[in-house]
Structure 1
Amino acid sequence: MSPELIALTMFGTTMLLLLTGQRVFGAIGCVGAGMVLLLYGTGGIEIPFSAAFKLFNWFPMLTLPLFIYMGYVLSEAGIAEDLYKMLHVWFGRVRGGLAVGTIFLMVIISAMNGLSVAGMAIGATIALPEMLRRGYDKVLITGVVQGGSSLGILVPPSIVMVLYGMIARQPVSQLWLAGVIPGLMMAAMFVIYVLIRAKVNPSLAPVVSDEELNMPFSEKLALLRAGIIPFLIFFAMTGLFIMGVTSLVESSAVGATAATLAAIFKGRFSWSMMHEIARKTLGVSSMFLWLILAALAFGAVFDGIGAVRAIENLFINRWELSPWQVIIMMQISFVVMGMFLDDTAMLVIVAPLYIPLVKTLDLGLGSGNTNLIWFGVLYTMTCQIAYITPPFGYNLFLMRSMAPKEITLPDIYRSIWPFVLMMTFSIALVMLFPQIALWLPEAVRN
């Protein structure tokens, strides 16, 4: 059996198992272990076992439960709710200001937890009811919350980038820095879109009444205190890490500790809350751990049979695709897979093929490691599209379960397309101008 046929069999079998409803880590791990037994016999089982065991030597794995824990604490402690109240007052007089404030809220929440789930939950349960009550168009604001919450996987500290960094063996700090400018650029596009829509059609986003905003300036300044805690947490975690004061693991511990102290300081700490947060953190962390174990096992078998080199020969030599055509083809495959799989499943399925191939492509970016940093940003941005596109977009299901009853499923589907187009345009810009992603990591490194 040729390496190409083996690769096709492995991917085809994996997709078939996923379509039957099997868990992602079970399908991937089963195919990897089964194929090595079929090819090499019982002695070959050492190949996936040895690869998976490397996981226990990867100290960045320790950051995952700490970042996840921090995100849940910030959500449960009501810190995001206080932030929204502040943004409501300060942006209320701008037409579309509450929607703009919600985007800023999503960016701040993203910079504190690294997940889209927390931003989605806060936006759907806090921001949406408030904007609906004030007469905002439900389709517009539903898209704002879905698009804004997806920034959680791009703005540091991004947990998706931590996973990518571990699988691609790239510094997480460089990936985080590479995501800053694309993330802020995308947020700026969302803000401009909302302001233009509100200007063209004022009925979509009415101005908040004077009665609601009529308060002394001293009280408005007092509301700014709601932004102090998030800033301190972000600085203590990400700022110290970028400055080289703390390591990645130490940074995650600092963030988790700071979030806990913030909950205590605000008088919202309780053992029942901690029990629930610990239960959720353990569940999500265990899921990530099994996925990475399965991906490593699958990748070791895939690489061991020479499939990566065979696929590279097929793309570059037989089909005579240029390096950029290969990248475009990869991005299209991510978009298609993203309609049916979540970001982690996509990564662990295609990482054995895409990551080694990207490293060898001559993209004019410098070293192969630079290729992988840039490609990590592209992958993460494509995951944002996957989060909000039918039929199985993760954020679509979350929005449907948490949004007020006035917002229907057709409203949710209609709301996402302007944001999908803006995300696609952002990806095109990063592909055309790679320095959008690479300038900041290079500047900090130098």
Structure 2
Amino acid sequence: MTPLMLGLLFLAVTLLFMFSGAPIAFALGSVAVVFMLGFMPASALDTVTQNVYEEMASITLLSIPLFILKGAAIGRSRAGQDLYAALHAWMGRVPGGLGIANVLACALFAAMAGSSPATCSAIGSAGIPEMRRRGYSPGFAAGIIAAGGTLGILLPPSITMILYAVAAEQSLGRLFLAGIFPGLLLVALFAAYAMWRYKREYAAASPGSPLLQRETFTRRQKFEMLPRVIPFVLLLTGVMVALYGGFATPSETAGLGALLALLLIAVIYKVWRPRDLAPILAATLKESTMLMMIIGMSLLFSYVMSYLHISQSTAQWIVGMHLSKWVLLAAILLMIVMLGFFLPPVSIILMTAPIVLPPLKAAGFDLVWFGILMTIVMEAGLIHPPVGLNIFVIKNIAPDITLGQIIRGVLPFVLLMFVAVLLICIAPSIATALPDAVMGS
């Protein structure tokens, strides 16, 4: 069978398993085993466990459960609500300040927790009711939180970035640094849209609307809200200094962050008893196990593709088309957008990396820079239908907001993400300047 026919068959079987409703990890693992049985030596099955273990025996992947523990500790305390309340108080005089406060709270919480769903849940559970009480339309309130939550996979420490670093064999430190300015760019775009949309809703508000009422906070009230927030911001800063200052490896930094997060919630929120810690540890174990299963099966899936020369042949075919570098980039990003309709970022990275990275490298693209573009495009996948994860997180915490309202609310933010992609293509230094300055070009 020719590589082309084998590749098409591999694609068809993968889609069949994906749409069967099987969990992603088992779908990918099943496809790999089926093709091992049909097209590889019988002895290959004897090495499945060994292959998966060898692929996962990466010190970088060790940081994933530790970052998840850090995120679970912060996400299951009142840190998110307190962070939101403090920003709300300090942004009260700015037009659309409540919406901007939610964007900033999502960004800071995402950087502390590293999880998109956790950010949506922690900030949205307080932010959405407050925005609606203040007269914000349901779709607008939902869109702000859903879009803000996606920053969890771009701003460090990002689990998605960790997986990309492993798949692309790039420096994790450079990737983390490269995500900071693009993350701030998205925050600025989201905040500007929140202000513009607020002004439109404010102008259209009828007399007596809560939107026309302003809440004021005294200076004393503002400062009283800071003591619970500052320690978590210092934790974020300390983790970044430890990582980029060369004081600790990513895994050591993750462990340090997790321990400090547990210490902070014990001191500030009195979460230290076994019954309080049990949900945090259970959530960490569940999410880590699920994620590591997906990673292991995705790596086995990629190994089979490589053994059967499917990924190499596809990459050669793409190179052989002699597309201009920007057409090649656009085609690959479009493919990622389409995959985002159905797959989470973890699977997209591990499934496509063997195919798309060699042609991009041959075309002269910086793979760290491309990792940022890919992450932003996958962020959009978290909030566009049919599978946008954050849409369903919002639906869960605000069940009275219809799915149609949520989707209409998030679409402007999807467009802003593609604006950010275009800006980073025009000015690559948005992503590359900071890592080059800190770690050298």
Q: Structure 2 length as normaliser, TM-score?
A: 0.93
Distance, in Å, in 1 between the alignment partners of 2:222 and 2:313 is: 63
Shift of 1:46: 5.8
The aligned residue for residue 369 of structure 2 is 374
Is 1:302 matched up with 2:305? Answer: yes
Distance, in Å, in 1 between the alignment partners of 2:163 and 2:430 is: 22
SS at match of 1:388: coil
Distance, in Å, in 2 between the alignment partners of 1:266 and 1:129 is: 25
Is 1:9 matched up with 2:9? Answer: yes
Shift of 1:404: 5.2
Is 1:239 matched up with 2:234? Answer: no
SS at match of 1:416: helix
Shift of 1:208: 7.9
- In structure 1, give the amino acid aligned to 2:42: T
- In structure 2, give the amino acid aligned to 1:255: G
Shift of 1:56: 4.6
Q: Where do 1:346-361 residues align within 5 Å? A: 346-361=348-363
The aligned residue for residue 394 of structure 2 is 399
Q: Is the 8 A contact 1:33 1:45 kept in 2?
A: yes
Distance, in Å, in 2 between the alignment partners of 1:404 and 1:311 is: 44
Shift of 1:175: 0.9
Distance, in Å, in 2 between the alignment partners of 1:129 and 1:219 is: 21
Q: Is the 8 A contact 2:175 2:371 kept in 1?
A: yes
78-87 or 98-107, larger mean C-alpha shift: 78-87
Q: Is the 8 A contact 2:78 2:269 kept in 1?
A: no
The aligned residue for residue 60 of structure 2 is 60
Shift of 1:286: 0.7
294-303 or 107-116, larger mean C-alpha shift: 294-303
Q: Deviations over 1:329-355 (max 9, x none)?
A: 111111111112211222232223123
User: Given the alignment, which residue of 422, 430, 433 partners 2:427?
Assistant: 433
User: How many aligned residue pairs are there?
Assistant: 435
SS at match of 1:157: coil
Is 1:314 matched up with 2:317? Answer: yes
Q: Structure 1: which 5+ runs fail to align?
A: 364-370
Shift of 1:207: 6.3
The aligned residue for residue 282 of structure 2 is 279
Distance, in Å, in 2 between the alignment partners of 1:204 and 1:341 is: 39
- In structure 1, give the amino acid aligned to 2:35: M
Shift of 1:48: 5.1
Distance, in Å, in 1 between the alignment partners of 2:45 and 2:212 is: 65
The aligned residue for residue 142 of structure 1 is 142
Q: Is the 8 A contact 1:47 1:300 kept in 2?
A: no
Is 1:417 matched up with 2:411? Answer: yes
176-185 or 81-90, larger mean C-alpha shift: 81-90
Is 1:268 matched up with 2:270? Answer: yes
The aligned residue for residue 167 of structure 2 is 167
Q: Is the 8 A contact 1:32 1:48 kept in 2?
A: no
* RMSD (Å) for aligned C-alpha atoms: 1.9
Shift of 1:199: 2.9
Distance, in Å, in 1 between the alignment partners of 2:119 and 2:331 is: 31
The aligned residue for residue 383 of structure 2 is 388
Q: Is the 8 A contact 2:128 2:141 kept in 1?
A: yes
Alpha carbons of structure 1 residues 203 and 275: separation in structure 2 relative to 1, 3 Å: farther
Distance, in Å, in 1 between the alignment partners of 2:102 and 2:429 is: 29
Shift of 1:118: 1.2
Distance, in Å, in 2 between the alignment partners of 1:204 and 1:71 is: 40
Q: Is the 8 A contact 1:198 1:204 kept in 2?
A: no
Q: Where do 1:176-191 residues align within 5 Å? A: 176-191=176-191
Shift of 1:125: 0.9
425-434 or 306-315, larger mean C-alpha shift: 306-315
Distance, in Å, in 2 between the alignment partners of 1:399 and 1:204 is: 26
Q: Deviations over 1:236-292 (max 9, x none)?
A: 212210111111111001111111111111133132221111111111111111111
- In structure 1, give the amino acid aligned to 2:293: W
Runs of 4+ in 1 over 6 A off after TM superposition: 204-208
Is 1:343 matched up with 2:365? Answer: no
Distance, in Å, in 2 between the alignment partners of 1:8 and 1:83 is: 50
Q: Deviations over 1:203-229 (max 9, x none)?
A: 57966856x4243x2332232223311
- In structure 2, give the amino acid aligned to 1:236: G
Distance, in Å, in 2 between the alignment partners of 1:153 and 1:223 is: 28
Distance, in Å, in 2 between the alignment partners of 1:374 and 1:153 is: 15
Q: Is the 8 A contact 1:81 1:122 kept in 2?
A: yes
Q: Deviations over 1:129-172 (max 9, x none)?
A: 11111212222121111111111110111111111112222221
Distance, in Å, in 2 between the alignment partners of 1:274 and 1:69 is: 11
- In structure 2, give the amino acid aligned to 1:271: P
Shift of 1:399: 1.0
Shift of 1:113: 1.2
The aligned residue for residue 250 of structure 1 is 252
Shift of 1:437: 1.1
Shift of 1:45: 3.2
Q: Is the 8 A contact 1:291 1:348 kept in 2?
A: no
Distance, in Å, in 2 between the alignment partners of 1:316 and 1:331 is: 16
The aligned residue for residue 28 of structure 1 is 28
Alpha carbons of structure 1 residues 268 and 75: separation in structure 2 relative to 1, 3 Å: farther
The aligned residue for residue 225 of structure 1 is 227
Alpha carbons of structure 1 residues 297 and 303: separation in structure 2 relative to 1, 3 Å: same
Give the % identical residues: 30
